[in-house]
Amino acid sequence: MSEANHPSDELRKAIEAEIEVCKRPLRGFASNHSDESGFARSGRPCTKYPVDIATMPVPLSISLALKLLLQCHDLGRTEKLTWEYPFTYQEVECSIAAEKFGIRLYVEQVEAGRGIEARTIAGKIASAARMMDKNLLSMMGKQALIAGNITIPNLYYKLRGLYEYFRSAAHEAYAGNGELARKAEEDSANTFLVGPINKQLAIRREGLYATIAMVSSYFSLLEHVLVLSIPSTNFDPPTEEVSSFIGMTLFEKYDRIFAEADSKEAHRLRERLKHVAETWRNPYSHGGFDKMRKAIGFHVEGLGVLPIGLSSITKTPEFHLFPDRDQGFDELCKTFDEIDTFLTEGPLWASTEWMKTGLDVPLDKESLEKFRQIEGEGGDNFAAYIAETSYYVDRAMNMDW
């Protein structure tokens, strides 16, 4: 394939054409590169207008519209102000700024009769930004994804909280403190013989429900952790494509992440995890059918219907009738705890430390090189790197420049 027909080149041309379309609402606007002071911080005579956020897209879309469509320049950050872009509208000097308490539009004071309305200016910028949202941003996102110039949002604590919630719920259910056990006890209060049986059935049923949810949520957490662990590997986003990696199965992700580790512990835990998947996750995530279809019954004359997996039925979560604690729950918790320990202390220790801070994970070339360099310097330097990054993120959130 020639370079001119390369998919990335075609995408670049499509983006350029879409930019011209999105410029249409900005007729009468122009960049103002001669303005190096703006209005928000300079005290120059102007009229300041708060912009109704209900009529505007998100602030980043506004910033991108001014920068990409008009080639406006950002005057930089200052106290309680993230950015300010100067421009002109019908030759009147203006600027728009993202401040701590909202978006503000500044218009220079003009002689009476000029008829420059702030609402018109804001409306045209908003219209251009909405047009960008429709097609252009997704096209640019695709281009960045191909090049690896992306940041993965860190959902570690949300997903971990989900897993821990269901794990705690399963523990309480098996201890007889669940909602179904309480209800069974109330409903069977006057039945001396049936009451305890009903309660035991309720305990097991609720424990099973919570355990299945715990397993599913842990697998979701683990997939997310593996994606966030890319910086601790030799994964090269421009050549391997992050989107393709995200689309892999859990075990494909696992094998890629640990490909260079040559770890016996990684292999051992993978086998444990595979057993959990086949026993607990797969049957319930595929409509109640396991991969080997052992839940399906076959007909035997004179005996009736027998499950295909008769020889392995004792290994399924629903075999035992009245156990004190459902078969396998403690072993599941042990397996997940061992995996967590391996993630914390094994080859992914640096990525695990990073994600536990809640910081997002940038995958651009410069960020990856810096991460890997400091990771190689050891735990103390890496801890300092995390602290420094967290400090600057906190400053940005509070606009403390």
The predicted structure's pLDDT at residue 357: 94
CA distances from 108 to 96, 117, 235 (A): 12, 11, 51
Q: Are 56 and 62 in contact (CB under 8 A)?
A: yes
CA dist., res. 227 & res. 352, Å (int): 11
Tokens in use for 137?
A: 């941003």
**Cα–Cα distance, 381 to 371 (Å, whole number):** 11
Q: Which amino acid is at 124?
A: K
**pLDDT, tens digit only, all 401 positions of the chain:** 444 455 578 888 999 999 999 999 999 999 999 999 999 988 888 989 998 877 776 777 888 899 999 999 999 888 888 899 999 999 999 999 998 888 999 999 877 556 678 889 989 999 999 899 888 988 988 888 888 888 999 999 999 999 999 999 999 999 888 888 888 777 666 665 556 777 788 888 899 899 999 999 999 999 999 999 999 999 998 888 888 899 999 999 999 999 987 789 999 999 999 999 988 887 776 565 555 455 566 667 776 666 555 454 445 554 443 344 556 899 999 999 999 999 999 999 999 999 999 999 999 999 999 999 999 999 899 999 999 999 888 877 766 65
What is residue 155's three-state secondary structure? coil
Q: 161 with 170: CB under 8 angstroms? A: no
pLDDT the model gives residue 107: 92
Alpha carbon distance 89, 74 (integer Å): 17
d(CA 339, CA 270) in angstroms, rounded, equals 9
Contact between 257 and 233 (Cβ < 8 Å): yes
Half-sphere exposure of 24 (CA within 13 A, CB side): 8
Measured distance CA(11)–CA(272) in Å, rounded:
44
CB atoms closer than 10 angstroms to residue 289: 14
Could you give the CA distance from residue 340 to residue 335 in angstroms, rounded to a whole number?
9
Q: Residues 198, 180: contact at Cβ < 8 Å?
A: no
Query: What is the CA 341 to chain-centroid distance, rounded?
Result: 23
Q: Can you tell me which residue has the tokens 């995530």?
A: 285
Exposure string for 4-42, b = 16+ CB within 10 A, e = fewer:
eeeeeeeeeeebeebeeebbebbeebebbeebeebbbee
How many other C-beta atoms lie within 10 A of the C-beta of residue 360? 13
End-to-end CA distance of the chain: 48
Q: What is the pTM of this model?
A: 0.75
CA distance 6 to 249: 29
Distance CA 189, CA 199 (A): 10
| Coil vs helix vs strand at 361 | strand
Q: Which residues pair with 252 in a beta bridge?
A: none
- Is 305:296 a contact under the CB 8 Å cutoff? no
Distance of CA 335 to the CA centre of its chain: 25
Residue 400 CB partners (closer than 8 Å, separation 6+):
79, 394
pLDDT at 293: 53
- Amino acid at the residue 291: K
Residue 96 pairs with which residues in a beta bridge?
Answer: 85, 105
Confidence (pLDDT) at 290: 55
What pLDDT shows up at residue 327? 60
Strand, coil or helix: 364: coil
- From CA 277, how far away is CA 11, in angstroms rounded? 40
| Closest by CA position to 295, among listed 315, 277, 274 | 315
- Residues 69 and 60 sit within 8 Å (Cβ to Cβ): no
Listing DSSP states for 76-133 in one string gives: --BTTEEEEEEEEETTEEEEEEEETTEEEEEEE---TT----HHHHHHHHHHHHHHII
The residue length of the chain stands at: 401
